[in-house]
Every structure is written in structure tokens, then in C-alpha cells.
């Protein structure tokens, strides 16, 4: 039995929405939780399939994990393993961040190469070379990584690209190394700062997150801590894009507006009215949309690659042509063919997509090809005429917490159904669950 979203477009969105905890923050923080003594409490933990996959890894390692409302409590005390099997590693790309955490805690680790969305080559060479610089011995054999690092020593590490995952892995591993590690050309994303806040709460000595230089003084005992995950800026960008596509007025609350400045400036250029407060952003869109300046994805503080797909769905209805240049992932345009089913006019050449806005999009049966591509299809369906059926929700559920419930609260006509495949096509019935 599979799930689908049934979306009837053309209904303006109105109201307020509170944003979930950040997917790209909670995953490395849950990995970091294994490094301290005592129970680690992580608040505003979103209900996502990627988070559930992380729980599976933690429990396999021997940790105790329990939910208490929107909080998760991790007790790493019983942890008695330092390996992660292939079946768990394949569930998500972010699982590789456990490498640094396990090395810091156990001095050895064994795991396969990670899985996740198929967005093109995303080598972990930067992760491995950095850990080797700290003194870890890493053997790559048969698709597995066998690592030993009981005597890691802090070093100067210069990243050739500001990789978020590599920066996180270095921060975690360096907490278990002796001496000082200085990372230059580090990723500057807000999620890196959030990881630093959690590590500091545990007693780690980490400074500089949010800048291009992060300094970690290793060798300090880590203890129990409590931490609240920062709001998910990509989820906020997606709901703002949904309101831009469907029209109406919404307020996304409990967020950091400065984390979304590159997104809101593009939406304003498209004809949306944007008002930002200290912890909220209000978007109003009534007039027709028009084309935006070229959108080029870049590491933070540039335009986020994860917001590119939802913004492309907005551009599909904007008068004129908008150019998207993808500088991070090679296969970030896999959703374009599905948007074309709805009537979008998009031409792709390598890492460049030219979106020629059309006056109308039409409901269609579309399938999510990856997490953010699924968000783009949802955004497009909300602004389309007629009904759309969105399948492939296993991708969408990796990063969005009950999107149908949140959108319905804003006035959207969207519901999740369960489908049973039959000889004459899927038979649908309303689903009582929010997740597959």
C-alpha cells in the first residue's frame, strides 16, 4: 500500500504556520549525542522519516532513544557497537556524519558508504581526507569504510570546498582528538552554528561556527545537555513558495528571517510583498507573478540549493523567463520532467535551466523524484488548475513534517490517501496516518 497527496489547486493560502525543527540540523546533533555521558535532550525534533532512520542507527549502536512530545531523549550509555550495517547507511546521505561521532567516542568505526537522494556525485573524499589528517587510519574495501582513530591529534585543515557534511564530521571527530583543530574554508550554514551550540552545551570547546574558520579544542569530557533545534529555513522557504504560487497571505512564524534573505529577495522580485519581523515573515501575493533575476545556488550565505526546486515551481507561473544555475548538485533538475506534465515550459542544458512562465498549470499525476523535487511538485500543484496526485511521498516525508496538515490549516485542499494497486488502477481511500 502506497500513499499519495491529492491536491486541488487554485485556492489562496491564508493564515499562520509554525515551522518545524531543521532536518539538516537535527541529524548531526543526534549523531553528536552519542559522544556525551548521560541523557541528551533534543527539543523541537521534527517527525521525519530521516529522523526515524537516525533513531534506527542509534538503537543499533546500543543507545536508548525515546520520544517525549516534540523532544527526543538519547541515552548513549549502553552503546556497545561501533559499526553501522549497509541497510541502515543506505537510508540517508547524512548517515556519514556518524563516522566522526563514533570515532570520537569509540576510537574505531566500520560502515558502508551512505545512501540518500540521487542528486549526482557527492563524494565523501573531503570527510575522509580530513579524518586522515587528524590521524585516523581509514581502509576503503568492498564499499565499506574501516576506520581506527584512537590517537587522533588536532591539525590545521583547509577544506577545498565549504562542505557542510565534512565540516560537521571534522567538528565531531576533533572533539575526540587531543589538541586544537582549526578548520578553514568551513561551511557557514546556520545548521553548523546549531551543532556548535549543542556541542558547547555538552561541554565541548568549539568556536567560530558561522564563519569560515572553526576552532575545536579536543579532549574535554562531554556531559548531558539539553538543546532546542533551530527552525527549518528550507521548510519555511517551501511554504513561502507555496503561498507565492497559490496566492494569498501567510505568515511563517518562529523562524530566523536573516537565514532566508536570499529567498525572500527573489520572491519579492517576483511580485510578492514581503514583511519580516524579528521571528516571522509575512508574504502576500495577489498580482500576477513575473520573472526573477537569475537564481544561482551557492554555499551559505548564497542562495540555498535546497530552495531552488520550490522556487522553480513559482517561476513556472511567472511572466517572462527565469534562469536557474545549479552550482552544488549535478542532478538537481530531475523534477523538471514532472513539472512539464503540468504544463511547465522548462529547458535544461547541463546545470542551467530556463523557465519560461506559462499562464496556467494543470493538475496531473506526478511523482516525486527526490526530496526537494517533491516539494516543487507540491508547490506547483497548489497553484495549478484542477486536481493533482503526487506520489513518491517517501522522498517528501524525509524532510517535511505532515505537509498536508500544515497546508490544509492554511486553506489548501490537500489530503493524504492510501492507494491499493488494482487491475484498473489505484483504488484510493483516505489515510488516517500522516506518514507512510
pLDDT of 38-50, one tens digit each? 999 999 999 999 9
Residue 351: all three cell numbers together: 546545470
Confidence grade of residue 380 (pLDDT, cut at 50, 70, 90): very high
Which one of 45, 82, 117, 147 is the catalytic residue? 117
Q: Is 168 within 8 Å of 29 (Cβ atoms)?
A: no
Asked if pLDDT for residue 299 goes beyond 50, the answer is yes
Torsion (CA) 179, 183, 189, 190 in degrees, nearest 10: 20
Rounded distance, CA 105 to CA 175, Å? 9
β-bridge pairing 273-276 and 248-253: unpaired
| Mean pLDDT of the region 192-202 | 98
Q: Is 30 within 8 Å of 168 (Cβ atoms)?
A: no
Consecutive H or E run containing 311: helix 305-315
Q: Is 49 within 8 Å of 278 (Cβ atoms)?
A: no
| Mean pLDDT of the region 246-275 | 98
Query: What are the structural domains, with CATH classification, of the chain?
Result: 2-20+231-430 (3.65.10.10), 23-228 (3.65.10.10)
The whole-chain average pLDDT of the chain stands at 93
Asked if pLDDT for residue 436 goes beyond 80, the answer is no
Rounded distance, CA 245 to CA 153, Å? 52
Rounded distance, CA 354 to CA 333, Å? 11
| Mean pLDDT of the region 330-354 | 95
Q: What is the pLDDT of residue 115?
A: 57
Rounded distance, CA 68 to CA 237, Å? 28
pLDDT digit string (tens) for 66-119? 999 999 999 999 999 999 999 999 888 789 999 999 999 999 999 988 754 444
Residue 303: all three cell numbers together: 542562495
Rounded distance, CA 177 to CA 217, Å? 8
Asked if pLDDT for residue 389 goes beyond 60, the answer is yes
Rounded distance, CA 424 to CA 171, Å? 54
SS3 label, residue 298: coil
- DSSP per-residue codes, 56-115: HHHHHHT-EEEEETTEEEEE-TT----EE-HHHHTT-GGGGGHHHHHHHHHSEEEEE---
The 10 Å Cβ neighbour count of residue 430 is 9
Distances in Å between the alpha carbon of 96 and those of 92, 116, 215, 434?
A: 9, 11, 21, 28
SS3 label, residue 322: strand
Asked if pLDDT for residue 434 goes beyond 80, the answer is no
Q: Mark whether 63 is an active-site residue.
A: no
| Mean pLDDT of the region 411-429 | 69
According to DSSP, residue 191 is labeled H
pLDDT digit string (tens) for 106-164? 999 999 887 544 444 446 899 999 999 999 999 998 889 999 999 999 999 999 999 99
SS3 label, residue 161: coil
Place of cell 515551522: 19
| Mean pLDDT of the region 228-243 | 98
Asked if pLDDT for residue 334 goes beyond 80, the answer is yes
| Mean pLDDT of the region 379-403 | 97
Q: Nearest-CA neighbor of 160 among 203, 129, 134?
A: 129
Rounded distance, CA 253 to CA 249, Å? 13
Confidence grade of residue 231 (pLDDT, cut at 50, 70, 90): very high
| Mean pLDDT of the region 220-249 | 98
Amino acid at each position: 500500500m502506497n500513499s499519495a497527496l491529492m491536491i486541488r489547486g487554485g485556492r489562496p493560502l491564508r493564515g499562520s504556520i509554525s515551522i518545524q525543527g531543521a532536518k539538516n540540523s537535527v541529524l548531526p546533533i543526534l549523531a553528536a549525542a552519542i559522544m556525551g555521558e548521560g541523557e541528551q535532550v533534543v527539543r523541537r525534533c521534527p517527525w521525519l522519516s530521516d529522523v526515524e532512520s537516525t533513531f534506527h542507527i542509534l538503537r543499533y549502536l546500543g543507545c536508548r532513544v525515546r520520544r517525549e512530545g516534540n523532544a527526543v531523549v538519547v541515552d548513549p550509555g549502553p552503546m556497545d557497537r561501533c559499526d553501522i550495517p549497509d541497510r541502515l547507511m543506505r537510508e540517508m546521505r547524512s548517515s556519514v556524519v556518524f563516522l566522526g561521532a563514533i570515532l570520537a567516542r569509540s576510537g574505531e568505526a566500520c560502515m558502508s558508504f551512505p545512501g540518500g537522494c540521487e542528486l549526482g556525485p557527492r563524494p565523501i573524499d573531503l570527510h575522509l581526507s580530513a579524518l586522515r589528517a587528524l590521524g585516523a587510519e581509514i581502509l576503503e574495501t568492498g564499499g565499506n569504510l574501516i576506520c581506527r582513530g584512537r590517537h587522533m591529534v588536532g591539525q590545521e585543515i583547509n577544506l577545498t570546498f565549504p562542505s557542510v557534511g565534512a565540516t560537521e564530521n571534522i567538528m565531531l571527530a576533533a572533539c575526540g582528538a587531543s589538541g586544537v583543530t582549526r578548520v578553514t574554508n568551513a561551511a557557514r550554514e546556520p545548521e553548523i552554528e546549531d551543532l556548535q551550540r549543542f556541542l558547547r552545551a555538552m561541554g565541548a570547546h568549539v568556536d567560530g561556527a558561522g564563519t569560515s574558520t572553526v576552532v575545536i579544542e579536543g579532549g574535554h569530557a562531554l556531559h548531558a545537555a539539553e538543546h532546542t533545534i533551530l527552525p527549518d529555513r528550507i521548510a519555511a522557504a517551501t511554504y513561502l513558495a507555496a503561498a507565492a504560487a497559490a496566492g494569498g497571505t501567510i505568515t511563517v512564524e518562529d523562524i530566523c528571517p536573516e537565514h532566508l534573505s536570499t529567498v525572500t529577495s527573489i520572491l519579492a522580485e517576483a511580485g510578492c510583498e514581503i514583511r519580516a519581523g524579528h521571528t516571522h515573515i509575512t508574504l502576500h501575493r495577489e498580482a500576477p507573478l513575473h520573472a526573477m533575476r537569475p537564481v544561482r545556488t551557492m554555499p551559505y550565505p548564497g542562495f540555498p540549493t535546497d530552495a531552488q526546486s520550490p522556487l522553480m515551481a513559482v517561476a513556472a507561473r511567472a511572466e517572462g523567463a527565469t534562469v536557474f544555475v545549479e552550482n552544488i548538485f549535478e542532478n538537481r533538475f530531475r523534477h523538471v520532467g514532472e513539472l512539464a506534465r503540468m504544463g511547465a515550459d522548462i529547458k535544461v542544458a547541463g546545470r542551467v535551466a530556463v523557465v519560461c512562465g506559462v499562464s496556467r498549470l494543470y493538475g496531473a499525476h506526478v511523482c516525486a523524484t527526490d526530496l526537494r523535487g517533491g516539494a516543487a511538485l507540491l508547490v506547483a500543484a497548489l497553484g495549478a488548475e484542477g486536481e493533482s496526485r503526487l506520489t513518491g511521498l517517501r522522498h517528501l516525508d524525509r524532510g517535511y513534517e505532515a505537509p498536508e496538515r500544515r497546508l490544509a490549516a492554511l486553506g489548501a485542499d490537500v489530503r493524504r490517501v492510501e492507494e491499493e494497486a488494482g487491475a484498473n488502477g489505484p483504488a484510493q481511500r483516505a489515510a488516517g496516518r500522516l506518514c507512510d
